[in-house]
Structures are given as C-alpha cells and as structure tokens.
C-alpha cells in the first residue's frame, strides 16, 4: 500500500502529491519520494538531480523552462510557503497556455509534480521559503527559456502582486506569444 495520495489536476500529467505523516510528541516522519510507488501510479521518472533555493517574501522565480533539454520536476517546500505554478507549453496539448497552481508549505507538506514541457515558477508568500526539487535532467544554462510572469494571455492568478521581487532576467522574459516553444 502506497504512502502517497496522487491528486490529478486540471492539466494532464500535473499532480499534487500528499504523503502520509507518522508523528508523535517527538515530531514526524514522512516519505517524500519512493520510486516504486510513483511508478505504480504511472508516474515513471528517473530523477537525477536535486536542487534547493532559499528566497525572501515577494521573490518570484520564473516562469522557467529548458528548450532542448526539458526537465520534469518534483517540487516541495521545506520551510515557509510558496504559490507554485506550472504552465502547459506542449504545442499539441488541449491545455496549451493554461496554468495550474498550488500552495506548497512546510505545514501542508504537499508536493507538485510537473512533467516535461511546462514552464515553472513560484512566488514566496512567507517571510522566507526553502524550496527543494528533483529533476529528471541536468540544468543547461545556455538552454534556458522563460515567459513573463504576468503575461496577460496566461493570466495567472497570483495570490499577491504587491512588491514582487524579480531577477533582471525574469523581468525581461517575453510573452508566450513571442516564445518559440517546441514541446
């Protein structure tokens, strides 16, 4: 029996994942990934790299993707809270250009599975957030693409847009209609 609850979203292939917690007055234990359980759920990935970042409130990272070396990601928050978003960039998908978002936090311990062919980003809602993710492909800096976080065609309903903090690169991403996306 699996210790995971795989929750389908409105976009094919994107899942919210909840893990069973085992706890007492000392704290808790939970599995965050078990290949056998993911495989049995039809989520067959070969994760090869783990990444972690820490950001302060208002930081928005994204919307990122890799053009020729796309990555599937399994993301979660170790500390704090973020609003995490996946945007479907698969040209043949009926949900191309649509997005799905979820609150990930230290408290809810949810994870978000984003397959290849998606742009990804998150907004930090707490004072700080430590964000961690598995990838099934290594990062290739020369291959990175991006879409502007507030593209009106995508129309992501961010929980807050006051005082958003962007990197120079993220502030200059093009709109989806100006991106060459081939997934």
Residues annotated as part of the active site: 64, 133
CA–CA dist 21, 30 (Å, integer): 5
Distance CA 10, CA 61 (A): 23
CA–CA distance, 83 with 179 (Å, rounded to integer):
24
Q: Which residues does 34 contact at the CB level (< 8 Å), separation at least 6?
A: 2, 3, 4
Q: How far is CA 38 from CA 6, 136, 180, in A?
A: 9, 14, 32
Helix (H, G, I), strand (E, B) or coil at 175: coil
Q: Do the strands 15-19 and 4-8 form a parallel or antiparallel pair, or are they unpaired?
A: antiparallel
């Amino acid at each position: 029996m699996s210790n995971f609850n795989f929750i389908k979203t409105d976009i094919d292939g994107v899942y919210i994942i909840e893990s069973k917690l085992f706890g007492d007055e000392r704290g808790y234990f939970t599995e965050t990934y078990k290949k056998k359980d993911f495989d049995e759920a039809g989520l067959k990935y070969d994760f090869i790299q783990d990444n972690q970042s820490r950001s302060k409130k208002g930081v928005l990272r994204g919307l990122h993707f890799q053009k020729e070396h796309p990555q599937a990601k399994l993301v979660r928050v170790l500390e704090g809270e973020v609003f995490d978003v996946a945007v479907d960039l698969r040209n043949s998908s009926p949900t191309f250009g649509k997005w799905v978002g979820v609150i990930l936090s230290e408290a809810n311990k949810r994870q978000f599975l984003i397959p290849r062919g998606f742009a990804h980003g998150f907004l930090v809602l707490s004072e700080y957030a430590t964000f961690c993710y598995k990838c099934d492909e290594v990062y290739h800096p020369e291959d990175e693409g991006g879409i502007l976080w507030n593209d009106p065609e995508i129309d992501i309903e961010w929980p807050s847009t006051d005082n958003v903090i962007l990197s120079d690169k993220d502030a200059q991403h093009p709109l989806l209609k100006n991106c060459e996306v081939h997934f």
